[in-house]
Every structure is written in structure tokens, then in C-alpha cells.
Structure 1
Amino acid sequence: MPNLTSYSAAYIADARAKIDLQLATYHAFLIAAQTGEDTAAMGAARDAFEPVFLRNLVLAMDHYFDAIPPEAESRDGDPINEVRALSDCIMHNHHKFQSDGHIALSPSTTVLGLKNGDDIRLTVPDFKRLADAFFAEISERYPEA
């Protein structure tokens, strides 16, 4: 990742809007959980909160291993590549999946099976499958020396 010394106003506003959305979604979830009486409201709050939370877990998972130089990574569409692509799309493509063309990410072979243009809206089982595959691949490709 290149070092940056400045950011456009649009980039800063977009980042701020994403953080504000996360806080608002979490706040709505908390209110629904605290009232506890309206199960429909709780379900709606959970449904809004879950994909935001899980997208952030994808970002965190990617960030834990961002010191791996790109030239050391394969380009075969493995779960590491999938997480990198998801992170890039979450950060820079408004949660719409888009393969960059340099990595062989096919819906038939990736963990999530996303196609270009699909909304990145994970469920807990989706995230668990992705995380399990990602950490297995990290363990296999980059074991302690």
C-alpha cells in the first residue's frame, strides 16, 4: 500500500459516512436490545447490524496480515486473495464485489461465491466459512519458521 500524505475531501467524507453508518446501526441495535419487547424491531436491528459488523471483521482479518508483501502472495484465488479483494471492495467500492482481474477469483471456486457487482452482505455462517478457510490458508502458506 502506498504511503499517502493527503486525502481528497470526498475520500474523507466517504470514510466518515461509513463510520457514522456503523455507529447509527449499532445504536439502533442497542435500543432494540434494551427494549426487548418488540421482536420484529430486534430482528430488523440485527439484520441491519450483522452485515456491517461482519464486513468490519473482514477488514480486521485482512489487516492482521497486511504485512505480507503482495509478491509473496499467490494469485490463484485462494481465501487470502478473496479476503484481500473483499477488503478492497468494502473500503473502496461501496460494498460491491469486483474482482480486479489480476487474481483468479471465480464464483465457483471462492468461499463466498460472489460475482462481480454482488453486494457484500455476509451472514455469520458465511463469515465463519471465510474465516476458517482464510486462517487455514495463512497457517499453511506462512508457518512459523
Structure 2
Amino acid sequence: MLAVSSYPEVYVQLAAARVEEQIVAYAALADATKGQPAAEAALAAFAPGYFATALLALDHHFMHRMRGAEGKDGNPLNEVRMLGDAIMSHDGVLTGDKTIKYDPAKSLTGIALGQAVVLDAESFSRLARSYIAEIGKRFPG
């Protein structure tokens, strides 16, 4: 497939809605486990894999985006690209990308190079919402 330079607004909105559905569903599950130590522990063990998979699914919606339009300033698109690459190709450890100016202090997750990619509901939600907003700005349809 050729690189995509724009996404229809409705496509971006539908992707955002899917992400929100998953965030809400996870929050409901977390609420249902409160006060049940075994269930809370099971959910805590489940969460990192769930959010890693959710990040890959999110990125897949826009995987053919034109890289030049994405920018290289460590924005949410860059962060998702790097985190996805870490999950898929580096055993879940964040590695540098010489084309991206990544600063963990300015990132949405705060994950440093060499650290394991471990997302929770809060960090995934913040990153996913910012990613979708950035897609809308940089790839208007």
C-alpha cells in the first residue's frame, strides 16, 4: 500500500470511538474487581499485555501514514511508533530511533530508552487520545 497523507475525518472518529470503548470497558472491569484481592491481582497481571496489544491495534489503524508528515520531534505519533516497535521487535524494551528526537521527560508515558514498555490504563488512555488528536492534525482528510 502507498503511504497515506490524509485520513477521512469519519475514519479518525471511528478509530477514536473504538479506543474509547476499550478504555471504558477496562475501567468497568477494574471497578468490578475492587475489593476482591485475587481479582485485582489478576487484573494487574493482565493489564500490561492488554494495553500493549491495544497500542498495537491503535497503531494498526494508521500504519500506512506517511512518515515524513508524522514529524520527528517526539510527538505522540513518534512515541506510539517507538513503543510498538519495542513490543514487536525488541522484547518489549524501548530502543532509540535515530530519526526521532525522543525525550522521555517530554513523552506521554515517561518510558526511557532501555526500559520495558509497561502501560497501564492511565498511560495508555493519555497516549491514545493524544495520538488520535495528532493524527487528526497532521493527516486531515
Please say whether Structure 1 and Structure 2 have the same fold, judged by a TM-score greater than 0.5: yes
Give the 3-state SS of the residue equivalent to 2:84 in structure 1: helix
Q: 1:71 is matched with which residue: 61, 68, 71?
A: 68
**Aligned length, in residue pairs:** 109
Give the 3-state SS of the residue equivalent to 1:135 in structure 2: helix
Alpha-carbon separation, structure 1, partners of 2:67 and 2:136: 17
Correspondence list, 1:78-117, <5 A: 78-117=75-114
Alpha-carbon separation, structure 2, partners of 1:43 and 1:119: 22
Q: 2:51 is matched with which residue: 51, 54, 61?
A: 54
Corresponding position of 1:20: none
- Does the Cα contact within 8 Å between 2:86 and 2:92 map onto a contact in 1? yes
Corresponding position of 1:143: 140
Corresponding position of 2:37: 40
Gaps spanning 5+ residues in structure 1: where? 2-35
Gaps spanning 5+ residues in structure 2: where? 2-32
Higher relative contact order (CA 8 A, sep 6+): 2
Runs of 4+ in 1 over 6 A off after TM superposition: none
Alpha-carbon separation, structure 2, partners of 1:97 and 1:71: 22
TM-score, structure 2 as length reference:
0.72
Q: Deviations over 1:64-112 (max 9, x none)?
A: 0011132332111110000000000001111111122220010121111
Alpha-carbon separation, structure 2, partners of 1:117 and 1:39: 34
Alpha-carbon separation, structure 1, partners of 2:82 and 2:47: 20
- CA RMSD of superposed structures (Å): 1.8
Q: Deviations over 1:96-142 (max 9, x none)?
A: 11122220010121111111111111110111100111011001111
